[in-house]
Amino acid sequence: MDWQTAERMANGIARARRLVVLTGAGMSTESGIPDFRSASGLWSANHRMEKMSISYWKQNPDDFWAVFRETFLSPYFLQAKPHMGHYALASLEEGGRHGLVLLTQNVDGLHQLAGNRHVIELHGHLRTAHCPLCHTAYHMADLPRDETPYCTSLTLKGECGYPLRPDVVLFGDPVPDYTKAALLIEQADLLLVLGSSLLVEPVASLPFSRQASCPLYILNEESTPLDAEAEIVLHAKIGEVLPGLLAMV
């Protein structure tokens, strides 16, 4: 562990007053949630990736929901707890001096469980589902666990009966908050990327929204395509390094 680099990163964060943090799957793997794109990741089995698309949900809602439950309503997600890196970010936000806004690619809600409040979930979340026809919202915990959920809202023609969809961004969906996230990064005086491979578009392009005066810091176990563009890069586990790093702040 290069603590000299960590100290430089801490000093930069300490000076920031409009800090934007972007987190990816590497933030969640340390809480026991598998990643998606590695050889053993969640997309490696049963063609899960192609089945998590908006077109597949429309054509095959029964199979879509079976794969969705197997992937996202598994014990990996439902039993996951925030780690010390999550709590370190929550403490940094609570301090209030850095104007911290958190952008996350993760759908697990662990940042909120740790105490962060200014969170933009770029890929949605697992808390709710909704009916695209009549727009009725449902808590995910209230839906049947072993069958496709259909809308039970009453309309003038009787029960709606349309298949529900989860409130996550599926392949083929736009990212609703992309423009908002890009504007926040454009206004930032520091962008800190934690646990993101910076490979998944369109979120991977967000760092290019920053001004020339806004430095990019990356803390990730593996290298990313933007390492050469970053002012500081630290390859380490977030939960092991971030608490001590932010304690310097």
The amino acid at residue 112 is Q
Is there a binding annotation on residue 214?
A: no
Are the C-beta atoms of residues 188 and 213 closer than 8 Å to each other? no
* Confidence at 50, pLDDT banded by 50, 70, 90: confident
Per-residue pLDDT tens for 184-212?
999 999 999 999 999 999 999 999 999 99
Place domain 34-79+129-168 in its CATH homologous superfamily.
Answer: SIR2/SIRT2 'Small Domain' (3.30.1600.10)
pLDDT score, position 97: 84
Instruction: Determine whether the annotation assigns residue 134 to a binding site.
Output: yes
**Which architecture characterizes domain 1-33+82-123+174-249 according to CATH?**
3-Layer(aba) Sandwich (3.40)
pLDDT of residue 154: 83
Catalytic residues: 123
Q: What are the boundaries of each domain within the chain?
A: 1-33+82-123+174-249, 34-79+129-168
Q: Mean pLDDT in the chain?
A: 91
Please state which of the ranges 25-39, 62-76, 145-159 shows the lowest mean pLDDT.
25-39
Q: Which of 123, 93, 96 is nearest to 109 (CA)?
A: 123
In the predicted model, what is the mean pLDDT of residues 210-233?
A: 96
pLDDT at 218: 98
Say if residues 44 and 146 touch (Cβ distance below 8 Å): no
Query: pTM higher than 0.85 for the full model?
Result: yes
Is residue 158 pLDDT above 70, yes or no?
yes
* Residues near 77 by beta carbon (within 8 Å), at least 6 away in sequence: 33, 108, 126
If you average pLDDT over residues 65-82, what whole number do you get? Answer: 90
